[in-house]
Structure 1
Amino acid sequence: MAPALRRSGQSTPQKAQHLIVLVHGLWGNPAHLDYVAKSLRDRYGDEDLVVLACRRNLGSLTYDGIEVGAERVAREVEDALEELGRDGHKITRFSMVGYSLGGLVARYTIGLLYHKGLFNSISPINFTTFATPHLGVRTPLTGYQNHLWNVLGARTLSTSGRQVFMIDNFRNTDRPLLSVLADPDSIFVHALARFQHRSLYANIVNDRTTVFYTTGISRCDPYVDLGKINLHYLKGYEPVILDPDHPCDLIPEQELPTFYQRFRMHSQTCLRRAPIFLALVVLLPIATIAFLINSGIQTFRSRRRIQLHEADHRDEGFGLYKIPWMVQDMRIGLEDAFENVNAAQQQEYLPEGSEEIADAIVESPALSSAAFAKSTESLLSEKSESDQAPLAERSQSFPTLALTTAQFAMIKALDDVGFRKYPVYIHKSSHSHAAIIVRFPRAAFEEGKVVVKHWLDNFHI
């Protein structure tokens, strides 16, 4: 199958030497990134850039897991480079964009390409994710609710579900794939570090699929109650993109609205949303049942595909990627059902002083989750000498989320590599996960165009 190279004419101009690869998310397809691709072509033109919108891991194929999806994408990239070479191109620069789950697939893909030596001849330039769950989609909880959502929810999306909820065992390492993906000694982190520019865009509200802490790679979520903070926007991109160096600060207690004022504002919001709530009461049970039935069917099919993939059934060359890790309408309805159940979960926090707990965990990665839970009190009394949290978080009194030991280690490892993090505030849409990349030409998604513009303004050609 020929790679889906995005061209404005019948053939790609010979001058283009920069390849950018776009990877869609769960249940997705290349059309979800049409606005991003069009914006790239409008800004730079085919003489400067070749856009590859990946299509070999679309739709229900995304159930098959991050590893399998990345192997498909890596093969697609290699095929595209071969085709471009036959057309007389000499690709010297490489960039990658991942949306939602596609960001995790992209991080795995670059590890494969790095291992095969691609970056010895091609310079990795830009790596960007939009609304990607870098820390998984596990809801930060400390109690029994883990078994209601984090465990049960993980089993509705086949292998991908187990991986993003971090209950998988990657290649018998006794570690989840996402933990390995962020291991400082892995090919994946080495590949990420090779990119000259790394950035991410994270919704602060209304992202029912991937909440801020995971898309923003953060120990805390300062945006749980917007009524208690002042937001600081990036000049020229108001009121959508926050200043990454100083996104917000707490409003002094004496300046907060009174209980009556807050109750009045809350009541007005509830009245505006009443029709939506009523519709959910009727439609959500039906959509949830349909989602669970479909998930069962897709999980069965996914397991069969993975078996064929692992066996290299048709000798398509996927076995080459088995390397050591060290060195549409109905679907939209099903997606909404999953998101609504996910959004119903409430975040919980570690006790006061938990920054010290998190630092101790990072310094002692061998500490198990059980030991972590039992030794909370003793860890609270120990003060870590180094503070690993970003400046925007250290300067505020925001509580630390009840993340796992693996997640705290992942945050440190990814922060050490370095991402430029841009919090995004989508006001006009309650589906900011789709709006952030203008997934559909919808008026409510207009603010996503500001996000894409900012990304393009900082894209290095």
Structure 2
Amino acid sequence: MPTSLLFQMALLVDLRSIDRQSLFSTEMDTALHKPQNSNPEAAHHLCVLVHGLWGNGSHLNYLTTSLREKHSDDELIVLVCSRNASSFTYDGIEVGAERVTREIEETIEELKGDGFKIDRFSIVGYSLGGLIARYTIGLLDSKGYFDYIKPVNFTTFASPHLGVRTPLVGFQNHLWNVLGARTLSASGRQLFTVDNFRETGRPLLSILGDSDSIFIRALAKFQRRTLYANIVNDRTAVYYTTGISKKDPYKDLDKIKLNYVPGYEKVILDPANPYEMAEPKKPPKLSERVKSTSKTLLRRIPLFAGLSIVIPIAVVVFLINSGIQTLRSQKRILLHEQDNEGSGYEHYRVSWMVQDLRAGIEDVFEATNSAQREEYLAESVRELDESDTVSQGESSEEPSSEKIPSPKLRRRSTGSPASDFPTLALTSAQFGMIKALDNVGFEKYGVHIHNSSHSHAALIVRTNRKAFDEGKLVVKHWLDKAFEI
């Protein structure tokens, strides 16, 4: 395994993820920004924010502040979910969504008791929070909430809709997909799509993206569905999964010319025409390549020397911490399933199929994912015809490129720039997710963060730092162009 990969694994050690709450408690103070001294009848729109893996409500401070500055207390009530903070996000998308759903239900009841009538609803998910949000809306809809509350805005920022597995062909990628899935308890297995959701033989993300599920049905009810995806420098969730795409045209920016939304230049890509093919550049001379390589190696000598000492220690600490957090997560999940305190979580276990609806899922391996090489389908395997996308019912317990079928094939279009980029070696389940989500329809905005190598955090201005200022333009665009009150 390459040195860079080991170092990036070590970077994932986050001591903040160690539980500061009781092992058996998931109840925390709800961050509800309720209007003060205003007319309860006026504020009837509830907006829920859901943070990501290893996160907490403070990661969403800029989004929260921006929402409240844009919309007055008489227009909008903001709830920042808090019961999945820190390592509680290890417990899986389903468990996390049940906690969030409970939090939303309690908030609606509290507001009702104070005289507020909520009849409009929006939800925003960041990173893993986007998947939890997708599961949550399915639960809410199955309980009839959307019969009297209008779903308005559904937004995700850098959410891995297709999971985080590296497109699989090479041995290194296969090794990482197998090992990586086993260091974050239930969330890790679900994000790498090696879980078996409720003994269906299918991963949770496949169920979440099934066109016949309560989750897709609920998603389709929203007035606006919007996603923002980093095109570069997202070391946590790469473009193909956050942008719900079979291809990654942004792997080499020298090959394309980017087109931006007027007024949001250099940051927000035009969704109607995000890029054009650029004129091929002349390759650098041999002497220039040698000079550049030599400078790079010289700069990295001190780093390599330090890593030879740090890596063994950091990897051991990371693995120990992952093991501890996984054991704690398993105990919390067991208590959640047993429902010993009578919290009533069992009533969230509704049937996920639409036809049975009334009868009865930092940071995810932050730099490690970026250490893997994207792999593509063989040249002989063309993009699947939409009418022949494989059934999502196939199990993907151990993802393999051999599971990608090639029944009826069609030639790539020569009229679109996208045809100049190869199709990623995704699983059949992932191709199915793409089809279902695209059928529902998302406004997809590519984001080009230049000033930070950590665009996953910069996208939502996760902390107040100069390098994240481009994220402020992203939030401004969302509020001005993609969020309806």
Please report how far the alpha carbon of residue 276 of structure 1 lies from its aligned counterpart in structure 2 after TM superposition.
Answer: 9.6
The yes-or-no answer on 1:218 pairing with 2:242 is no
Mapped to 1, the partners of 2:444 and 2:252 lie a distance apart of: 20
Mapped to 1, the partners of 2:307 and 2:127 lie a distance apart of: 24
Specify the alignment match of 1:331 in structure 2: none
The yes-or-no answer on 1:433 pairing with 2:462 is no
CA distance 1:248–1:14, change in 2 (3 Å): same
RCO comparison, higher one (Cα < 8 Å, 6+): 2
Specify the alignment match of 1:449 in structure 2: 472
Give the secondary-structure state (helix, strand or coil) at the position aligned to 1:125.
Answer: strand
Query: Match for 1:414 among 430, 433, 437?
Result: 437
The yes-or-no answer on 1:400 pairing with 2:426 is no
Please report how far the alpha carbon of residue 275 of structure 1 lies from its aligned counterpart in structure 2 after TM superposition.
Answer: 8.7
Give the secondary-structure state (helix, strand or coil) at the position aligned to 2:78.
Answer: strand
Please report how far the alpha carbon of residue 245 of structure 1 lies from its aligned counterpart in structure 2 after TM superposition.
Answer: 1.2
CA distance 1:344–1:361, change in 2 (3 Å): farther
CA distance 1:243–1:124, change in 2 (3 Å): same
- Aligned pairs for 1:161-172 (under 5 A) are 161-172=188-199
Please report how far the alpha carbon of residue 3 of structure 1 lies from its aligned counterpart in structure 2 after TM superposition.
Answer: 3.1
CA distance 1:410–1:392, change in 2 (3 Å): farther
Mapped to 1, the partners of 2:49 and 2:186 lie a distance apart of: 22
CA distance 1:35–1:412, change in 2 (3 Å): same
Please report how far the alpha carbon of residue 356 of structure 1 lies from its aligned counterpart in structure 2 after TM superposition.
Answer: 3.2
Gaps of 5+ in 1: 328-334
- Kindly provide the CA deviation profile for residues 7-52 of structure 1, in whole angstroms up to 9, marking residues without a partner as x: 4758885521100000000000000000000000000121110000
Please report how far the alpha carbon of residue 339 of structure 1 lies from its aligned counterpart in structure 2 after TM superposition.
Answer: 1.8
CA distance 1:433–1:269, change in 2 (3 Å): farther
Mapped to 1, the partners of 2:45 and 2:294 lie a distance apart of: 50
Give the secondary-structure state (helix, strand or coil) at the position aligned to 2:446.
Answer: strand
What amino acid is aligned across from residue 257 of structure 1 in structure 2?
A: K
Specify the alignment match of 1:139 in structure 2: 166
- Aligned pairs for 1:39-188 (under 5 A) are 39-188=66-215
- Kindly provide the CA deviation profile for residues 303-336 of structure 1, in whole angstroms up to 9, marking residues without a partner as x: 1110110011100111110111112xxxxxxx48
Please report how far the alpha carbon of residue 437 of structure 1 lies from its aligned counterpart in structure 2 after TM superposition.
Answer: 0.3
Between stretches 135-144 and 274-283, larger displacement belongs to 274-283
Between stretches 2-11 and 267-276, larger displacement belongs to 267-276
Judge conservation of contact 1:247–1:392 (CA < 8 Å) in 2. Answer: no
CA distance 1:366–1:340, change in 2 (3 Å): closer
Between stretches 191-200 and 6-15, larger displacement belongs to 6-15
What amino acid is aligned across from residue 341 of structure 1 in structure 2?
A: T
Specify the alignment match of 2:446 in structure 1: 423
Specify the alignment match of 2:64 in structure 1: 37
Give the secondary-structure state (helix, strand or coil) at the position aligned to 1:301.
Answer: helix
Give the secondary-structure state (helix, strand or coil) at the position aligned to 2:220.
Answer: helix
Please report how far the alpha carbon of residue 230 of structure 1 lies from its aligned counterpart in structure 2 after TM superposition.
Answer: 0.9
Mapped to 2, the partners of 1:250 and 1:445 lie a distance apart of: 29
Query: Match for 1:259 among 284, 288, 295?
Result: 284
CA RMSD of aligned residues (A): 2.9
Specify the alignment match of 2:333 in structure 1: 306
Mapped to 2, the partners of 1:108 and 1:423 lie a distance apart of: 24
Please report how far the alpha carbon of residue 282 of structure 1 lies from its aligned counterpart in structure 2 after TM superposition.
Answer: 5.4
Give the secondary-structure state (helix, strand or coil) at the position aligned to 1:291.
Answer: helix
Compute the TM-score of the two structures, normalised by the length of structure 2. Answer: 0.85
Query: Match for 2:229 among 182, 197, 202?
Result: 202
CA distance 1:178–1:392, change in 2 (3 Å): farther
Specify the alignment match of 1:460 in structure 2: 484
Specify the alignment match of 2:21 in structure 1: none
Hey, which of these two has a bigger chunk of helix by percent?
1
CA distance 1:257–1:47, change in 2 (3 Å): farther
The yes-or-no answer on 1:347 pairing with 2:374 is yes
- Kindly provide the CA deviation profile for residues 136-175 of structure 1, in whole angstroms up to 9, marking residues without a partner as x: 0000021323441001000000000000000000000000
Please report how far the alpha carbon of residue 248 of structure 1 lies from its aligned counterpart in structure 2 after TM superposition.
Answer: 1.1
Give the secondary-structure state (helix, strand or coil) at the position aligned to 1:235.
Answer: coil
Please report how far the alpha carbon of residue 397 of structure 1 lies from its aligned counterpart in structure 2 after TM superposition.
Answer: 0.9
What amino acid is aligned across from residue 245 of structure 1 in structure 2?
A: A
Give the secondary-structure state (helix, strand or coil) at the position aligned to 1:79.
Answer: helix
Mapped to 1, the partners of 2:343 and 2:395 lie a distance apart of: 40
Mapped to 1, the partners of 2:279 and 2:439 lie a distance apart of: 32
Percent sequence identity over matched residues?
A: 59
Judge conservation of contact 2:197–2:204 (CA < 8 Å) in 1. Answer: yes
Judge conservation of contact 1:139–1:347 (CA < 8 Å) in 2. Answer: yes
